[in-house]
Structure 1
């Protein structure tokens, strides 16, 4: 029995989906394009408050100018062939990225929910993963300004930075990966707590332990065993290690740039899957 063709031509929206749209390549292309759209919307927000980028640079500047200068004179922390200020500079860049990402992702999500923007996004055909990755990419672009601030201060303080174009490109990659991880972690918190006041408290509770349980301002070898274990599962440790090997002329990496990138990328993928599942809860 043959199927009779309709007398009226079908409109485009009721036509059968072409076969190529069902393959994985098309799905990946759609996620990438939608991610870039969401990221563009996030970056456009900087036009309304561009001075926020400068304000975010005050805290790392104080760490370098005060904390770094003092501990360089004391020589209390063994840093190998690096001065303490050189050892500390990559850690302060990672700290700056951490703070910007944590207090940008979840807080922005809660504001958008209160304004009804999240509901519109959830009603659109944009994949949840693209929404999450778009915000992470937008946060990464926002964090690029911290590279300029930290590099400028470090050069003024006499830190020997590696200004090779390949090294600068590697720093950009690590900053984007680190910002993405912590932004999505912040989005997960925003999906769970749903209020600005509670998010602020939890954000402040988490940022300092993440910072101090890493190799940002002292080597892991100086930590007690239990803190070394936490440091090894802390993504910030691998971000700092990668930055320390690429930013500095005499810098070295314990784990290697490739391994650090793989760990950060796997963390990013895992957090994206979790956040994609939790994202619809924001509208509840």
Structure 2
């Protein structure tokens, strides 16, 4: 059956992404150590310099959901470079002749990227005691669902950028102009209430803002928007990003056939 072939193709591409992820163990260690350094050094240093009340655990607890969002952001978007590597080594041509749709290829890639992001998010959630937060099973599950949705969207965004880029250098250059503003304008490091109107506009068009706000509500029970609104926005973003990636991937890679 056609749908069985599509599912098998998605699974095969997902499995390849997982094998690639676990093959580079240094990447896993780095992706965990870096956010911990943000929490310990940045959170402690700035937390001691400014008064930050209203949140049990202080500033470190406040930025904890944002650091999880940062980890998902970096892992998801930068994983789009795998498309460029596959294109350079000819593996992409082999995928294109497989009897599955381009949409299934993109979904398999996005799921692989999301799984890698969720593994790292799960490790950070398990280390919540570092910032004095008790992680309940319900909180853990909801946080993982949020991480899955936003990582699918950000992974799709990474694939969109990869569709326009033919070299790793060009991809990294574009990323340097995109990733940092997305992170800084997500409310990960500071409250988004009380900002100037022009800056709030930039904050609220950022999809990561809604993921961080949803994580903050789930973990700290504090948010700007209702959880349902945040989940709706990041879900719409994920669907649109994956669909656009599939469309661009289809048009771009037809030139390789």
**Superposed displacement of residue 238, structure 1:** 0.8
2:125 matched residue in structure 1 = 151
Distance 1:31 1:218 in 2: 43
Say whether the 8 Å CA contact 1:113–1:282 is kept in structure 2.
Answer: no
Is 2:234 aligned against 1:264?
yes
Say whether the 8 Å CA contact 1:42–1:135 is kept in structure 2.
Answer: yes
Is 2:26 aligned against 1:51?
yes
Instruction: Show the 5 A alignment for 1:1-284.
Output: 31-76=6-51, 78=52, 80-82=54-56, 83-105=58-80, 107-157=81-131, 159-161=132-134, 163-248=135-220, 251-280=221-250, 281-282=252-253, 284=255
1:12 matched residue in structure 2 = none
Say whether the 8 Å CA contact 1:94–1:240 is kept in structure 2.
Answer: yes
1:7 matched residue in structure 2 = none
- 3-state SS in 2 of match to 1:175: helix
Distance 1:155 1:147 in 2: 14
**Superposed displacement of residue 80, structure 1:** 2.8
Distance 2:123 2:137 in 1: 18
Distance 1:267 1:274 in 2: 11
Say whether the 8 Å CA contact 1:53–1:145 is kept in structure 2.
Answer: no
Q: How many positions carry a matched residue from both structures?
A: 253
Judging changes above 3 Å, is the alpha-carbon distance between structure 1 residues 227 and 45 closer, same or farther for their aligned structure 2 residues?
same
Distance 1:120 1:53 in 2: 28
Distance 1:247 1:87 in 2: 10
Say whether the 8 Å CA contact 1:42–1:138 is kept in structure 2.
Answer: yes
Judging changes above 3 Å, is the alpha-carbon distance between structure 1 residues 216 and 127 closer, same or farther for their aligned structure 2 residues?
same
Structure 1, unpaired ranges of 5+: 1-20
TM-score for both structures, normalised by structure 2: 0.90
Say whether the 8 Å CA contact 1:88–1:216 is kept in structure 2.
Answer: yes
Say whether the 8 Å CA contact 2:14–2:109 is kept in structure 1.
Answer: yes
List structure 1 segments (4+ residues) > 3 angstroms apart after TM superposition: 29-34, 151-154
Distance 1:65 1:167 in 2: 22
**Superposed displacement of residue 283, structure 1:** 5.9
Query: For the pair shown, which has the larger CA radius of gyration, 1 or 2?
Result: 1
Distance 2:24 2:34 in 1: 18
Q: Deviations over 1:214-248 (max 9, x none)?
A: 11111112422112111111110011011111123
Give the root-mean-square deviation of aligned CA atoms: 2.0
**Superposed displacement of residue 252, structure 1:** 2.0
Distance 2:229 2:53 in 1: 22
Say whether the 8 Å CA contact 1:79–1:87 is kept in structure 2.
Answer: no
Distance 1:121 1:101 in 2: 21
- 3-state SS in 1 of match to 2:164: helix
Distance 1:204 1:283 in 2: 28
